[in-house]
Amino acid sequence: MSLNMPQMIASPGKGLRPAKKQEPATFKYPARLIRDGTRFAVKFRDIPEAITCGGTRDEAIDMAKDALATAMDFYFDDKRLVPTPSEPKRDDVLIELPPSIAAKALLLNALLAKQVTQAELAPS
């Protein structure tokens, strides 16, 4: 089976749409670092499952990378659309998904958009 699948963009509250040609396929999610006494909490508005903290700002950013990657498992296991990153706001820190996880997210979004299962992609 040959699939011609466009890159799909998931926008919160707007559903799924094909990406415009000029939109890069990057998965850099804006994260908010919140000082909590002597620690830093990290939250992602696009991926609410990814929450973490660290003793220093740098440690919190490192922990955020792991939390974001781990949160993707919820989307993959539940076969849910992976939201694309929203525009960063002032003071946000951008956390990029590793390329292998970003590729998996793009594939999942395309499969969901086309209503195709992974089994249907296998040669018969």
Model pLDDT, residue 18: 56
Q: Which residues contact 22 (CB under 8 A, 6 or more apart)?
A: none
Model pLDDT, residue 9: 54
Name the domain count of the chain: 1
Chain centroid to Cα 95, Å, comes to 10
Alpha helices (runs of H) in 4-124, residue ranges in sequence order: 57-78, 99-114, 118-121
Model pLDDT, residue 114: 86
Residue 3 domain-assigned?
no
Residue 1 domain-assigned?
no
Residue 110 domain-assigned?
yes
Residue 79 domain-assigned?
yes
Distance CA 74, CA 77 (A): 5
Task: Provide block-wise average pLDDT over 10 residues at a time, the chain (124 residues).
Answer: 48 52 69 94 97 96 97 95 94 94 92 82 68
Residue 44 domain-assigned?
yes
Model pLDDT, residue 40: 97
Distance CA 93, CA 20 (A): 25
Model pLDDT, residue 115: 87
Model pLDDT, residue 28: 95
What single letter denotes the amino acid at residue 120?
E
Q: What CATH number is attached to the domain comprising 30?
A: 3.30.160.250
Residue 41 domain-assigned?
yes
Contact criterion met (CB below 8 Å) for 60 and 40: yes
Query: Domain residues for 12?
Result: 8-121
Residue 2 domain-assigned?
no
Distance CA 79, CA 100 (A): 17
Distance CA 23, CA 2 (A): 24
